[in-house]
Amino acid sequence: MGAIQALRGTRDILPDEIAYWQRTEATARDILGRCGYREIRTPIFEETALFERGIGEATDVVGKEMYTFKDRGERSNTLRPEGTAGVVRSYIENKLFGQGGVQRLWYTGPMFRYERPQAGRQRQFHQIGVEVLGSADPRADVEVIAIATNLLQTLGLKNLNLALNSVGNRHDRQQYRQALIDYLTPFKDELDTDSQDRLTRNPLRILDSKDKRTQEIAINAPSILNYLGEDSRRHFDKVQQLLTDLGISYALNPRLVRGLDYYTHTAFEIQSDDLGAQATVCGGGRYDGLVAELGGPETPAVGWAIGLERLTILLQQIQQTPQASIDFYIVSKGEKAEDNALILAQNLRQNSFSVELDLSGSAFGKQFKRADRSGAIACLVLGDEEAVNKTVQLKWLKTGEQSAISQAELLANVEELKSRLQAAK
């Protein structure tokens, strides 16, 4: 019987890679905390109707990509394909709007979509996202874009481009929708199969098609920017002005519509030149109608999500996260020495040192090789003599300098030892 493997579209995040994830999460937590955002954690699965109503039944996500199942009570549940709908459901259910003012929330966790797996795109994938609920001010749009830009740049990314568009309000989009249908209908037979299906259901998504011929046809399609009403135009002009004031460069892309029906007004993507075909690292926009659509009060909102798999690929390319080093690797041989080594390791850990204890019981030579590979700053060596005398051999791995020291002295001079370790890095 063959070994069981991870399902297609899922992958293990192994220890050698996890440092990138931890650094990203820690950086995000720090930046978002300083910007007044509070973390929220919502369930991984929700009632299917939440996504059907929130994302839109005409979208590919709802129509083709959701993992939906019935529980024992014959209720239809779905593994969340994105984070915004769940946050909005929680905002309504827990009456966060009753707290007054603007709610700045952020989340992180796994999402699920049945897509064709490729580099940076999995069926189980992870996101960090933010939602600002309760402000229609264009400054909220620019704030979230600026925070995303700051986060990505702090992590070390450089070749980033901000693509910007406005999809207007519901009235603007309805007028544009009809203009788009009128333009595309004569080309119907030349469109790819998916776009033919979208022509009457969700024509804006045709602008996002990856089919070469469909893209050629869409180049000359009318621009949504020509269908913006006065209020939508004023909002979008203010967003552009504020981005310029902050020194954040952008490029207008009238074909940028995003994949979910709830977007209104500002839509944006932050893309990387280093990621190939799957260039989008962060995507988001404004969704002023979603809270009311899901049964809450009229509440303007804006947010974004960053895909952690794609971001990790970029961080690995620029090697922004070196292997985490440990302070001490403890080598021991002999029953008394091995018992003593365990006690010493625990005492050092309780004094905030990072310590790896070799448990192999193999010869000193093999243990020393593992110490060299571990990335430790120093090695502590105990044999029978050290166990009897309560001493330890302290070896600095970079220089090879070695000296005997009593274990009591070692533990009595914690601050001095920390200074020496810092200097030896």
Q: Would you place residue 352 in the very low, low, confident or very high pLDDT band (cuts 50, 70, 90)?
A: very high
Quote the CA–CA distance of 36 and 31 in Å, as a whole number: 9
- Widest CA span of the chain, in angstroms? 91
Q: What is the pLDDT of residue 177?
A: 87
CA distance 184 to 179: 9
- In the chain, the domains with their CATH numbers are 15-169+229-318 (3.30.930.10), 328-424 (3.40.50.800)
**pLDDT higher than threshold 70 for residue 324:** no
Q: What is the 3-state secondary structure (H, E, C) of the chain?
A: CCCCCCCCCCCCCCHHHHHHHHHHHHHHHHHHHHCCCEECCCCCEEEHHHHHHHHCCCCHHHHHHCEEEECCCCCEEEECCCCHHHHHHHHHHCCHHHHCCCEEEEEEEEEECCCCCECCECCEEEEEEEEEECCCCHHHHHHHHHHHHHHHHHCCCCCEEEEEEECCCHHHHHHHHHHHHHHHHHHHHHCCHHHHHHHHHCHHHHHHCCCHHHHHHHCCCCCHHHHCCHHHHHHHHHHHHHHHHCCCCCEECCCCCCCCCCCEEEEEEEEECCCCCCCEEEEEEECCCHHHHCCCCCCCEEEEEEEHHHHHHHHHHHCCCCCCCCCEEEEECCHHHHHHHHHHHHHHHHCCCCEEECCCCCCHHHHHHHHHHHCCCEEEEECHHHHHHCEEEEEECCCCCEEEEEHHHHHHCHHHHHHHHHHHC
Q: How far apart are CA 392 and CA 34, in angstroms?
A: 45
What confidence category does residue 325 fall into, taking pLDDT thresholds of 50, 70 and 90? confident
State how far the Cα of 119 lies from the Cα of 112, in Å rounded to an integer: 16
Q: Is the pLDDT of residue 60 over 80?
A: no
- The pLDDT score that the predictor gives to residue 276 is 61
Residue 259: predicted pLDDT: 58
Q: What is the pLDDT of residues 181-191, one digit of tens each?
A: 999 898 888 88
Query: From the centroid of its chain, how far is CA 324?
Result: 21
- Looking at residue 260, its pLDDT comes to 63
pLDDT band for 203, please (50, 70, 90 cuts): confident
- The pLDDT value recorded for residue 258 is 67
pLDDT for 226-266, tens place per residue?
999 999 999 999 999 999 999 999 999 988 876 566 788 99
Q: If you average pLDDT over every residue of the chain, what do you get? A: 91
* pLDDT for position 196: 87
Query: Which residue, among 242, 267, 281, 33, has the nearest Cα to 157 in the 3D structure?
Result: 281
* pLDDT score of 6 more than 60: yes
Average pLDDT over residues 352-366: 95
Provide mean pLDDT across the span 352-359. Answer: 95
Which range is most confident: 242-251, 394-403, 408-417? 242-251
Residue 278 has pLDDT above 60, yes or no: no
The pTM of the full predicted model, rounded to 2 decimals, is 0.86
Q: CB count, 10 Å around CB of 242?
A: 18
Ranges 22-36, 43-57, 74-88, 237-251: which has the least confidence: 43-57
Which residue type does 142 have? Answer: V
Out of 7-21, 98-112, 155-169, 309-323, pick the least confident.
Answer: 309-323
For residue 48, which amino acid is it?
T
Question: Which range in 40-44, 50-54, 175-179, 417-421 is most confidently predicted, on average pLDDT?
Answer: 40-44
Percent of the chain with pLDDT over 90: 69
pLDDT classification of 292: cutoffs 50, 70, 90: very high
201 pLDDT higher than 90: no
Confidence bin at 320 (pLDDT 50/70/90):
low
Tell me what the mean pLDDT of segment 370-398 comes to.
93
Distance CA 271, CA 205 (A): 19
Q: Which whole number is the average pLDDT over 274-290? A: 83
104-118 mean pLDDT? 94
Give the pLDDT of residue 390. 94
Q: What tokens were used for 244?
A: 């310029």
